[in-house]
Amino acid sequence: MKVRSPLTNTYNVKLLKTIPVSEIVKTYKSESSVDTSRIFGELENIHIYKCLDTDFLFYYPLNIAGDGSFYEELEKISWYYMDWKWEHENALKYMRPQNEVLEIGCAKGSFVKELKKKEYWSYGIRAE
């Protein structure tokens, strides 16, 4: 399978990790009681790649995203908008302080603020 960087559109990428969809579905189910299986359909694995030109990390396939009902379910959970969540901790495993981080959909910007404290170059975009 040839994968292109979504930033450079080149094949200069490196596979870092393959995550079984079943692990993602299980984690969401146990952490939030939200069933995410419909989002992935028949997909068996999500792959984490690094663009070697930019150091940008991205998941593949690129077209996997939560839908409106997914976020409506998450909003019902009291801890969903916590300042620090398990996915923040997990994301840190893939980052280095010299990396620049852009969080799209950053809500109150808590993750971005925490990254700045840890000396990351971090930015956030939120919907109004």
- The answer to the question of residue 115 being in a domain is yes
Q: Enter the pTM of the model.
A: 0.65
Please determine, for residue 128, whether its predicted confidence score (pLDDT) is greater than 80: no
User: Both 10 and 50 in a single domain?
Assistant: yes
> Structural domain of residue 22, as residue ranges?
1-67
Query: Is 75 inside any structural domain?
Result: no
Question: Rounded distance, CA 75 to CA 58, Å?
Answer: 25
Q: Looking at the structure, tell me whether residues 53 and 5 fall in a common domain.
A: yes
Average pLDDT over residues 25-32: 92
Is there a domain that residue 10 lies in? yes
Q: What is the pLDDT, as a whole number, of residue 118?
A: 84
Locate the DSSP E strands across the chain. 13-20, 45-51, 57-60, 100-104, 121-125
pLDDT in tens, 57-112: 999 999 998 888 888 888 888 777 778 888 888 888 888 878 888 888 887 888 99
Instruction: Give CA 100 to chain center in angstroms.
Output: 15
Structure tokens at 11: 């094949």
